[in-house]
Amino acid sequence: MIRRILSWTAALLLTAIAALALWLYAPEKPRAALEAAYPGEYRTVLGLRLRYRDTGPRNVPALILLHGFGSSLDTWEPWANALSAKYRVIRLDLPGFGLTGADPTGDYSDARTLAVLAGMMDQLGLPKATFIGNSLGGRFAWEFAAAYPQRIDKLVLISPDGFASPGFEYGKPPEVPFVMNLMPWVGPRSLIRANLAPAWAHPDALPDAVLERYRDMLLAPGVRQAILDRTHQTVLSDPAPRLRRINAPTLLVWGEQDGMIPLQNAQDYLRLLPNARLVRLPGMGHVPFEESPAAALPPVERFLTQTAG
C-alpha cells in the first residue's frame, strides 16, 4: 500500500511539473510575422541590423527616443505622432531588444550600445540631436551625452537608470538568480503582466494590446537570450564623474507613483547634473508616455521650445 501511495505521489508530482512547464513555456514567434505586425525600417550599423522609424520634417531639430528595458520603439508611438509635426523623430529598438534582436557580436556593454547610436547618427547624417530616454534608455542617453558631448543638443531623462540599487553594485556583475537562466524558454502573459504592473501608476488600466506588444517583442527571435546575456554583462560604475561633465540642458521627468525607479532618485541627478531641472508628474508611473501620453507631453514640449538653439 505504501509503495502504491508513493507511486501515485510521484506520478502527481511529475504531472504537476509537466503542467507548470507547459504553462511557462513559450516558443519564439516567427520574425516575418512580427515584422509584418510592427512596422519599421531597417539598416545595418556596425554589423547590427537595427530596426528604427524616422518621421517628421528633415530640416528641423532631431529627437532620438530610447526605450527602456524589455521594451521597443513602439512604446513612443503617441509622443512620436505628436512631436513629428515640429521635429524629426527617430526611435529605434536598442541592441538585444524588439526586432533589432540579438547583437551578432554578443557584446551588450554600454560602450557597444553608445557606438551603435553614434554610428546610426552618422548614417542618418545627424551631427547633433536631442536624446529622450526612459529608464535603461535614459541611462544610455546621459552616458551618450558624457561620451559625445558635441553630439547632444538637449536631454530629456524620464526616470533614468544608472545608480546602484539592490542586486546592482558598482564594479561587479549583478547576482543573477539561477531561475533567470530559464528565461529563453518562458513567457506566460500573467508573468509579463506582473513585471509590467510596477511601471504603471494604475496597473488595472494596462491595456491588453500593450501587454501583447511587450510579449511579442519578448518572444522575438533571440531576444530573451540577449536580455539574459545583457543582464550577466551589466557592470555599473559610479555615474557621478560622468554626470558632472554633462552641460547640455536637461529635463528630468518623473512619475510621482513610479514603482520601478522611485521619485526620490531624482535628487541624485539634480545634485550632479549642472544644468538640470525636474518635472514631477502626479498620478503617473514609470512610463508616463504610455500611461498618460497627452498629459505627460506638455512639459517636454515646453522644454524643447524654451531651450531651442
Q: What is the largest CA-CA distance in the chain?
A: 85
**Which amino acid is located at 305 in the chain?**
T
Flag whether pLDDT at 2 surpasses 50: no
Provide the pLDDT for residue 12.
36
Cα torsion angle, 273, 279, 281, 282, sign: positive
In this prediction, residue 307 has a pLDDT band, given cuts at 50, 70 and 90, of low
* Burial readout 115-142 (b: 16 or more C-beta within 10 A, e: otherwise): bbbbbbbeebeeeebbbbbbbbbbbbbb
What nine digits make up the cell of 236? 555599473
In this prediction, residue 88 has a pLDDT band, given cuts at 50, 70 and 90, of very high
* Digit-coded pLDDT (tens) for 249-283: 999 999 999 999 999 999 999 999 999 999 999 99
Helix axes 136-147, 110-124, angle to 10 degrees: 70
Which domains, from first to last, does the chain contain? 32-306 (3.40.50.1820)
Q: Are 99 and 224 in contact (CB under 8 A)?
A: no
Flag whether pLDDT at 27 surpasses 70: yes
- Window from 103-107, 173-177, 234-238 with minimum mean pLDDT: 173-177
What nine digits make up the cell of 134? 526612459
Flag whether pLDDT at 23 surpasses 60: no
Flag whether pLDDT at 240 surpasses 50: yes
* Digit-coded pLDDT (tens) for 146-191: 999 999 999 999 999 999 877 778 888 877 777 778 888 888 889 8
* Digit-coded pLDDT (tens) for 53-77: 999 999 999 999 999 999 999 999 9
Distance, in Å, from the CA atom of 146 to the CA atom of 117, rounded to the nearest integer, reads 13
Provide the pLDDT for residue 119.
98
Average pLDDT, the chain: 90
Q: Which of 162, 157, 211, 159 is nearest to 188 (CA)?
A: 211
In this prediction, residue 309 has a pLDDT band, given cuts at 50, 70 and 90, of very low
**Which amino acid is located at 227 in the chain?**
I
